[in-house]
Amino acid sequence: MSRLFGTDGVRGRANADLTPDLALRLSIAAAKVLGASDRRTVAVIGRDPRASGEMLAAASAAGLAAAGAKVIDLGILPTPAVAHLTALTGADFGVMVSASHNPMPDNGIKFFAAGGRKLPDEVEDAIEAAMGDTTPLPQAEGVGRIARSVDPVEAYIEHLVTVCPNPLDGLKVVLDPANGAATGAAPEALRRAGAEVVTINDDPDGLNINENCGSTHMEGLRAAVLAHGADAGIALDGDADRCLAVDAEGNDVDGDAIMAILALAMREAGTLRGDTLVTTVMSNLGLHQAMGAAGIKLEITGVGDRYVLERLGEGDFSLGGEQSGHIILSDHATTGDGTLTAIMLLARMAATGRALGDLASVFTPAPQVLVNVRVADKSVIDHESVRDAVAQWQAKLGSDGRVLLRPSGTEPLVRVMVEASEEPVARTVAAELVAVVEHAHS
């Protein structure tokens, strides 16, 4: 039987894989595992704007109340805001209903422990096991109540503006919040920090989240930056835990480049603890080379911001993230926060007077090709022919390249990633590996 939890909570197609009944049972189980034992449990819950979030958040809140919890409904908020408010309110745990960057038909449920921390695997396993618990639920005065929070967005915006290290005065920014959860919070935070902000894709209707916009579709942002003569463009995803950027010439600045910029800024400020950046196996070889040249150490984890978070905590490090734009500034947040990342990136531009493209030039990416192969069974990567092909190509590329195959944590995909000194070589190797995966899968 496959594990219910993936790399980032429980995710699937809303009302098919992820039903209100599942949300109800999952939330009851979460309250049993994460709740207080000596008093009434307090839980906060938020969601992104997608239409199915209305029913799934309602079902989740009902499950929490059925388990006896006091539920604080935060409404539509970015994932990092829910994490922040879990800590700020002293709640026993938090719940976020969102499928992040996934298309609108999908949705998901993720949990934050007390303090706004993501759950380790063993706690998620305990929640899944508790779904089989048949202990009677509380009745009468033991039943929990659900109350709406008063202006939780304001508390989150105040936090973002407070941690901004210097004003963003003089910067013109185009912001694409992906018709998502940060449509209200992100532009207001940037404006209060001093930036002039132009917004696009800022009219969520429940159906258009991530649709040809945000961090997964940067074309519109590139065009808007050029059209408005902006200094930078910022792209968030649907729940605003990711941030990617565009420089004034319309060039993409990915998570690796952003981490390189922030790592150098933080080391200069004395806040890059251990002179270490934590990142995943997906980060480009160019990042390794740039950080090595700067004397900054890299700690490498598996794919997923939760593993970056774990290593940040274990080593008491202050910066980590992923090429995809999940970037964690652990002095200010307990999870990836796209708006916080944008503020810190823009603050570096404002403080130095340097263009984003100039700052990003510290990082020269090695050619990288990433191909998603749709499969019915992601265990195809363990097929002997696939393993042999990966080993053979890695041996041929040597230190000038890298091959990585991994299953998606949220979709029926195998991700084939190849880096090489020349892009045609990377494309050739990736095409051959895709063919091996497809043949093994057939």
Catalytic residue among 27, 98, 100, 215: 100
CB atoms within 10 A of CB 242: 28
100 is in an annotated binding site: yes
Q: Where are the alpha helices (DSSP H) in 177-329?
A: 185-192, 219-228, 255-269, 285-294, 305-315
Q: Which residue has the tokens 């700690």?
A: 299
Q: Which residue has the tokens 């993720």?
A: 110
DSSP string, 322-378: -TTS-EEETTT-SS--HHHHHHHHHHHHHHHT--HHHHHTT--PPPEEEEEEE-S-G
CA 87 from chain centre, in angstroms, equals: 18
205 is in an annotated binding site: no
237 is in an annotated binding site: yes
Dihedral-angle region of residue 140 (phi above 0 means left; psi in -120 to 50 means alpha; beta otherwise): left
Confirm whether 361 is a catalytic residue. no
Q: What letter does residue 17 receive in the DSSP assignment?
A: T
Q: What letter does residue 239 receive in the DSSP assignment?
A: T
Residues 6+ apart with CB under 8 A from 66: 24, 28, 137, 143, 144
Residues 6+ apart with CB under 8 A from 298: 276, 277, 278, 279, 283, 287, 288, 291, 292
Q: Residue 362 class from Cβ within 10 Å (0-12 exposed, 13-18 middle, 19+ buried)?
A: middle
CA distance 305 to 326: 7
DSSP string, 96-125: EE--TTS-TTEEEEEEEETTTEEPPHHHHH
- What angle separates helix 152-163 from helix 185-192, to the nearest 10 degrees? 40
Do 165 and 85 form a contact (C-beta atoms < 8 A)? no
Query: Which of these, 182, 148, 176, 3, lies nearest to 80 by C-alpha position?
Result: 182
241 is in an annotated binding site: yes
Which residues sit in the known binding site? 100, 237, 239, 241
Which residues sit in the known binding site for Mg(2+)? 100, 237, 239, 241
Q: Which residues are catalytic?
A: 100
